[in-house]
Amino acid sequence: MASHHHLLFLLLLPISLILLSAGRRAACEEYRVGGEDGWINGNNYLRWSQQFNFSVGDVLVFSYVKGQHNVFDVTEAAFRSCNAELGVNKRYESGDDRVELRRAATYFFICNTPGHCLGGMKFSVSVQPAASGNPPAAEPAPEGNGAPRWRGLGGFVIVMIMMMLG
Ligand SMILES: *[C@@H]1O[C@H](CO)[C@@H](O)[C@H](O)[C@H]1NC(C)=O
Ligand SMILES: [Cu+2]
- Tens digit of pLDDT for each residue in 75-95? 999 999 999 999 999 999 999
| Verdict on whether the full-model pTM lies above 0.85 | no
pLDDT of residue 166: 65
- Cα distances (Å, whole numbers) of residue 24 to 8, 38, 54, 138, 152: 25, 25, 19, 15, 11
- Tens digit of pLDDT for each residue in 6-32? 554 444 445 444 444 444 334 689 999
Rounded average pLDDT over 124-133 = 85
Which of 76-85, 127-136, 149-158 tops mean pLDDT? 76-85
In angstroms, how far is CA 123 from the centroid of its own chain? 15
Give yes or no for residue 117 having a pLDDT over 80: yes
Residue 73 region by backbone torsions, left for phi larger than 0, else alpha for psi between -120 and 50, else beta: beta
Residue 138's CB: how many other CB atoms inside 10 A?
8
Distance between CA atoms of residues 50 and 47, nearest Å = 5
Q: To test ligand 1's pocket by mutation, which of 49, 53, 55 has the most ligand atoms within 8 angstroms of CB?
A: 53
Average pLDDT, the chain: 79
The protein residue with its alpha carbon nearest to ligand 1, atom 1, reads 53
Regarding the beta carbon of 137 and ligand 1, being less than 6 Å apart is answered: yes
pLDDT of residue 138: 47
The protein residue with its alpha carbon nearest to ligand 1, atom 5, reads 53
Question: Quick one: what percent of the chain has pLDDT higher than 90?
Answer: 60
- Tens digit of pLDDT for each residue in 88-114? 999 999 999 999 999 999 999 999 999
pLDDT of residue 162: 61
